[in-house]
């Protein structure tokens, strides 16, 4: 898009937001900010932007939760400094490294406002950021709201406005991802880009929630450690248990996105993230947890721990199924609603398996020896006639191939395949040709050739695996 046109659209959007009217009586909010060894300047940039850009009548307090920082300046110096601020601000400290989840729960216990607003410690709030969030909660206290998260460069600290055309999703590995807002949701909003956007998931760092509702719906899963997965867990829980999750386009908060986490994770990053994700899968995903466990051996070895209390919560709140979530909230999800197979796809002649080979979007699908470990060799054959691995689908744009891995678009066409369970062929619908084993000249790349029903064109699709988590 031309820079001038883009700037005009941004300006027009801002003007429309400024013309919005909000209820005269909005609830007060407490801002909870967790930090661990945060830089002095970024932490204070967050705090001062809250103070300077929030109506004083709505800002009850700012609660800083220190998760066992080791920097001297975050000790008594910080306490003395915040005591001079024009808004009530105080510091709580964890006794030992607790992680984001438990530190936020500590902060939430001390909240005096009617609404809890969680922010990361490296943010900048913009003018008018708060009123649009609180206004939605006034209309429905079961609504959990997030701002548009703009980008602050981790090198120059330049502020860059983010797109309002993306929403939160997730992949088979239960990683949060941003995806383009579908036309369905644009039409629901009458193509009004300032209207609240119903998002399937949230990033989790920045959001507001009614304080009483926060506890009614189960706050955070206290069985999770440090950080990771809590945003998806809360997103699924909100939707499946009767709430609403929205991004508010007229609210903007900048966030410093780092290339890698500067923090240490007791026990190791992978162990903690896999443990948290396993809890999400076991409690909320029903049979779709197979997709998560199929993607890595590490996921199947991770322990979810005791999830009985969270399952009891789901029962007590009369929460809906994950199928309901996929049908009604996220029909665009890349976890297919209905599928025939989930597992490896093995060539009858070579006894090699289709393999993504760790290749990127737009690159050719590969084949490799069948290792039986899942991951790159896990594919789903769906009732939409896709052959997909995570968010990538087999795609062929002409009769002679190549067969590439392209982002699934759920519209058939180049991504539509028919598997004949009798003759074991995988036929590309658009071209009528069949997927064939690789050649000696290129042993890692399968081909698309006219169907001759030879052994090299026969593929065995394994039935759905029932992957098991460790307990």
Cα–chain center distance at 325: 15
Question: N- to C-terminal Cα distance for the chain?
Answer: 51
Query: Nearest Cα to 252, choosing from 381, 147, 132?
Result: 147
**Whole-angstrom distance, CA of residue 110 vs CA of residue 211:** 11
CA–CA distances in Å: residue 150 to residues 132, 228, 258, 354: 16, 21, 13, 39
Compute the C-alpha angle 201/182/151, nearest 5°.
55
Q: In the predicted model, is pLDDT for residue 174 greater than 50?
A: yes
Do residues 279 and 289 lie in contact, with contact meaning Cβ atoms separated by under 8 Å? no
Task: Tokens for 53, please give them.
Answer: 């850009």
**For residues 22-48, average pLDDT:** 95
**For residues 421-439, average pLDDT:** 93
Q: Could you tell me the pLDDT band of residue 85, with boundaries at 50, 70 and 90?
A: very high
pLDDT in tens, 212-250: 999 999 999 999 987 788 999 999 999 999 999 999 999
Do residues 460 and 345 lie in contact, with contact meaning Cβ atoms separated by under 8 Å? yes
Radius of gyration of the chain (CA): 25
Write down the mean pLDDT value for the chain: 90
**For residues 8-17, average pLDDT:** 71
Percent of the chain with pLDDT strictly greater than 70: 93
Give all domains of the chain, ordered by start, each with its CATH number: 20-256 (3.90.550.10), 339-461 (2.80.10.50)
Do residues 31 and 117 lie in contact, with contact meaning Cβ atoms separated by under 8 Å? yes
**Whole-angstrom distance, CA of residue 264 vs CA of residue 48:** 27
The DSSP H or E segment spanning 269 is helix 269-284
Kindly tell me the sign of the dihedral angle through the C-alpha atoms of 317, 322, 327, 332: positive
Query: Nearest Cα to 406, choosing from 382, 388, 379?
Result: 388
Query: Nearest Cα to 231, choosing from 165, 284, 302, 183?
Result: 284
Q: Could you tell me the pLDDT band of residue 463, with boundaries at 50, 70 and 90?
A: low
Specify the pTM. 0.91
**For residues 327-342, average pLDDT:** 92
Task: Tokens for 303, please give them.
Answer: 């322990």
Do residues 2 and 34 lie in contact, with contact meaning Cβ atoms separated by under 8 Å? no
**For residue 120, what pLDDT is reported?**
96
**For residue 470, what pLDDT is reported?**
47
Dihedral pair phi/psi, residue 133, rounded to 5°: -70, -50
Range list of β-strands (E), 313-378: 339-343, 345-347, 352-355, 366-369
Q: What b/e sequence results for 23-33 when a residue is b if at least 16 CB atoms lie within 10 Å of its CB, and e otherwise?
A: eeebbbbbbbb
**How do 29-35 and 115-119 pair as beta strands?**
parallel
Compute the C-alpha angle 231/236/242, nearest 5°.
125
**For residues 123-132, average pLDDT:** 96
Q: In the predicted model, is pLDDT for residue 389 greater than 50?
A: yes
pLDDT in tens, 277-297: 999 999 999 999 999 998 877
């Amino acid at each position: 898009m031309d820079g001038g046109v883009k700037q005009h659209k941004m300006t027009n959007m801002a003007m429309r937001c400024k013309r919005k009217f909000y209820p005269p009586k909005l609830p007060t909010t407490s801002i909870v900010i967790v930090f661990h060894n945060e830089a002095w300047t970024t932490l204070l940039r967050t705090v001062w932007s809250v103070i300077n850009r929030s109506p004083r009548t709505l800002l009850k307090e700012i609660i800083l939760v220190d998760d066992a920082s080791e920097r001297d300046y975050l000790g008594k110096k910080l306490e003395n400094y915040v005591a001079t601020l024009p808004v009530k601000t105080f510091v709580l400290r964890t006794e030992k490294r607790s992680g984001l989840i438990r530190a936020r729960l500590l902060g939430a216990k001390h909240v005096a406002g009617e609404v809890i607003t969680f922010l990361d410690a490296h943010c900048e709030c913009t003018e008018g950021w708060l009123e649009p969030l609180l206004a939605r909660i006034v209309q429905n206290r079961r609504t959990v709201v997030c701002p548009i998260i703009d980008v602050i460069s981790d090198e120059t600290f330049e502020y860059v406005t983010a797109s309002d055309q993306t929403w939160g999703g997730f992949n088979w590995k239960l990683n949060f991802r941003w995806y383009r807002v579908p036309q369905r949701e644009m039409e629901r909003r009458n193509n009004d880009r300032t209207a609240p956007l119903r998002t399937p998931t949230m990033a989790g760092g920045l959001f507001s929630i009614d304080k009483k509702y926060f506890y009614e719906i189960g706050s955070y899963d206290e069985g999770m450690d440090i950080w990771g997965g809590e945003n998806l867990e809360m997103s699924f829980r909100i939707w499946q248990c009767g709430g609403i999750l929205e991004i508010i386009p007229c609210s903007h908060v900048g966030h410093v996105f780092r290339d890698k986490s500067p923090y240490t994770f007791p026990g190791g990053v992978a162990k903690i993230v896999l443990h948290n994700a396993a809890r999400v899968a076991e409690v909320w995903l029903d049979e779709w947890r197979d997709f998560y466990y199929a993607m890595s051996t590490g996921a199947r070895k991770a322990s979810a721990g005791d999830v009985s209390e969270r399952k009891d919560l789901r029962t007590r709140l009369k929460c809906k199924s994950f199928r309901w979530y996929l049908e009604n909230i996220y029909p665009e999800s890349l976890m297919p609603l209905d599928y025939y197979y989930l597992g490896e796809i093995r060539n009858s002649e070579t006894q090699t398996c289709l393999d993504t080979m760790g290749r990127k979007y737009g690159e050719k699908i590969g084949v490799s020896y069948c290792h039986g470990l899942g991951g790159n060799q896990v594919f789903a054959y769906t009732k939409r006639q896709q052959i997909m691995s995570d968010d990538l689908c087999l795609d062929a744009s002409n009769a002679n191939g190549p067969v590439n891995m392209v982002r699934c678009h759920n519209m058939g066409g180049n991504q539509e395949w028919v598997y004949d369970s009798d003759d074991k062929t995988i036929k590309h619908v658009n071209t009528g040709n069949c997927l064939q084993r690789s050649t000696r000249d290129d042993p890692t790349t399968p081909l698309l050739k006219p169907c001759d029903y030879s052994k090299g064109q026969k593929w065995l699709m394994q039935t759905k695996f029932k992957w098991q988590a460790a307990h």
